[in-house]
Amino acid sequence: MSDLTGIDWGDAFANAAHIPEGDDYPDRWAAAAARFREDVAGELDLPYGDHPRETYDIFLPQQAAHGLVVIVHGGFWLAFDKSYWSHLAASALAQGWAVALPGYTLAPEARISEITGQIGRAIAAMAARVPGPIRLTGHSAGGHLVTRMVCDDSPLPPEVLARVDRVVSISGVHDLRPLQLNPMNDSLKLTPEEAAAESPALCRLVPNVEVTAWVGAAERPEFLRQSALLSEAWSTADAPVPLIAEADRHHFDVIDGLRDPSHPLCRALTDL
């Protein structure tokens, strides 16, 4: 679907069609996540609300945790669930962090604004389990959701928001307005008002939170623009928001750095 700019907004957000064997990645993620859960004991499907998808998984280190890392899955608010991403907890867990992964209701059953509220409630429930600092990361739609948590209208309780000291958005969607021109809006049902209100790049960042915008250098131009926009909107002279375009990474393998404790992506999230 094109507007007067001539941009095909359907293709602008399309990933699998532009990645070799792109359709195979969800099965790879699910298999790796299942193997991780077989090897590492976790507390699974803990409720934070009444909806069947309002649950979270948490993995705790053997020693007292440094704090809490939260990983929010992507899928354009339309697909997947937390079970696809368990394996991404491995490195942070090995470094002494508790790691939690929230589920949320998918569109069209829930609007994006409702999903934002769900993630806020999930993080509050997780934070009650683990003391100390809170680090947030998410991929694609998950990148949107974690940056929404540190906007000045955050759904987090003030005492929980005060504990969030670092956010790493991975290939996040930070300006939702173009999605109104994408066929997926038949399910997202974004209005101009909701698209603007739910766009982190149009909101103000709360103080005292380090934010990184991470994206694969080989991603679709729109995802590069989305990360650059957040960096531009939220950077100040005293608190820049780094924009990292990782070489040779596309939308589906850019998350792999979370699995390697020495990788700069993992270190951006977990370093003390």
| Tally of domains within the chain | 1
What would the mean pLDDT of 3-12 be, rounded to a whole number?
Answer: 76
Instruction: Give the alpha-carbon dihedral of 147, 185, 18, 137, to 10 degrees.
Output: 20
Tens digit of each residue's pLDDT (9 = 90 or more) over 105-155: 999 999 999 999 999 999 999 999 999 999 999 999 999 999 999 999 999
Task: Provide the terminal-to-terminal Cα distance of the chain, rounded to the nearest Å.
Answer: 45
Instruction: Report pTM.
Output: 0.96
* 115: its two tokens: 């999903």
Q: Is 3 domain-assigned?
A: no
- Read off the CATH number of the domain in which 191 is found: 3.40.50.1820
Residue span of the structural domain in which 236 resides: 9-270
In a domain, 1, yes or no: no
Whether 24 maps to a domain, the answer reads yes
Model confidence pLDDT, tens digit, residues 46-79: 999 999 999 999 999 999 999 999 999 999 999 9
84, 112 Cβ separation under 8 angstroms: no
Is there a domain that residue 16 lies in? yes
**Residue 141: what residue type?**
A
Is 186 inside a domain boundary?
Answer: yes
Asked if residue 146 belongs to a domain, the reply is yes
Residue 152 within any structural domain of the chain:
yes
pLDDT per position as a tens digit, 181-215: 999 999 999 999 999 999 999 999 999 999 999 99
User: Is the residue at 130 inside a domain?
Assistant: yes
Structure tokens at 9: 């907004």
pLDDT of residue 141: 98
State the burial class of residue 182 (Cβ atoms within 10 Å of its Cβ: 0-12, 13-18, 19+): buried
